[in-house]
Structure 1
Amino acid sequence: MNSSEKKVRLTAGDVELTVGPQDGCRIESLIVGGTELLRQGERFGCFPMAPWCGRTENGLFRSGADTYVLPINAAPHAIHGTVRDRAWRTARHSATEAVFTCELTDPWPWPGTVTQMVELTEDSLTLRMGVETQENSFPAQAGWHPWFRRTLGDSEVRIGFEPAWQEERGEDHLPTGRRIDPLPGPWDDCFGMPGGVDVTLTWPGLLELTVASREEWVVVYDEQAEAVCVEPQTGPPNGLNTHPRLVTLVDPLETATTWTWRRL
């Protein structure tokens, strides 16, 4: 069994975390005090999104004078990047920290490397991601897509956050380019938090968990009965077309998120 096939388990006190490098470097499990916080299943847990986040319109994006085509995996769009479908390599790990890498190859037009770093403590999880080019510059996005269990025991989650705006969503599920006052849920929507992402999930009587990031975009998805998603990311959906961030040899794309929790 090579390094990309082994699950990596981190522990800190009564907190246990499991990463599956062979399954898109997905965090498969996060157990706090004996309670699993993430929805289980091969497409759930928490996966990294790169080199784009959310939907890219019709699988097409432009860079300079050229148009590039991505595989359609959420018709009619391309969704959530490529690295969640790749086997990653475990570069190193200890009891509480791990580093993983994944090469960007076809269907992404440019060679590059994505790195995910995971650090666990008794009351927090910090995730860091870097996107580097090996040759030419290219636009990219990065972020995370966690699936938190809606209900822990008999306690149903409450979502608390104060965004400055909501990206208006069109019938094609893409932002229209207009910013509107935040609407009540249920949501499958992108919100702007220019002071940094700060979303609190509370399971009354059990646990409070805050998702924070220096980034100003977060997608909140709570249309399923089983789970809710809080997705910090470096740009809005379709951002390869509307809000591109250029990755160069001297300026990689770097982002991070920290989850902190406390027992209630």
Structure 2
Amino acid sequence: MDSPLRVLLVEDDERARVMLAGVLTRNGYRVVDVGLGMRGIEELEQGTFDIVLSDIWMPDITGVEVMNAARSRPEPPEVILMTGNSTIATAVAAMRAGACNYLLKPCPNEEMLAAVSAAGRRRRENMRRAHALRTIASQIADVVGGTPVEEAAPPAASTPASHTLERFLRIGGLEIDRHRHVATFNGQLLHLTPIEFTLLITLAEADGRVVSWTELTSRSHQSRLNALESHELLRVHIRNLRRKIDPSYLVTVRGIGFRLVDPDERS
């Protein structure tokens, strides 16, 4: 008999979180619930989950960032995203960025449970397939007396040496340290999410050039989205960055993308 599936519930609305956790628990799931996206990422780093059920818009980071953290795990869980502010672009972007399902709140319990059940079936099938592949690889290794296939070292990628890039990028009061992956503004350390740092360094490397929405999301979310989908995903991250640095540094180019500039040098 299969053991109960572990669900990580990430929802900033306490009333909704308690209700969803109760419904899932009564239906046989083992639930860990948290109220902030960063707490969700911490739980992902500390434990193993089969399914992540996350709101998209939260006070600290977005559900997309939680999903990206989940996808980076060695055996990534299935991710279902939820939002009360739906557009077709948001739904499509969420699915194309890696979510296995997308729910519009308020969501009937039956619909939520059906989505979680489908994600659970997919998770178990993926785990069975991975186990079968590991078994085959181990049997092959026993026959040939070599190293198991999945443990073989991948060929080294031919990437430019890091020393060919300048360590620091400076634009006005903004300084980005490529080596330490940190940034400061007017000497104060910025507390950035991984996506915010990627967006900031991508814009800084453009040296004042307009960077399109699609180019930004290809770097920040490793996803190939169209312009509308990319714009939808970027809105909250750009808004958060503008709160953390002088908003005049981030210039919107209508219908295209964004520029990072030193406002003191703008003509």
Q: TM-score range by the shorter chain?
A: under 0.3
Scaled by the length of structure 1, the TM-score of the pair is 0.24
More strand by share: 1
Of the two structures, which has the highest relative contact order with CA contacts closer than 8 Å and spacing of 6 or more?
1
Largest Rg, 1 or 2 = 2
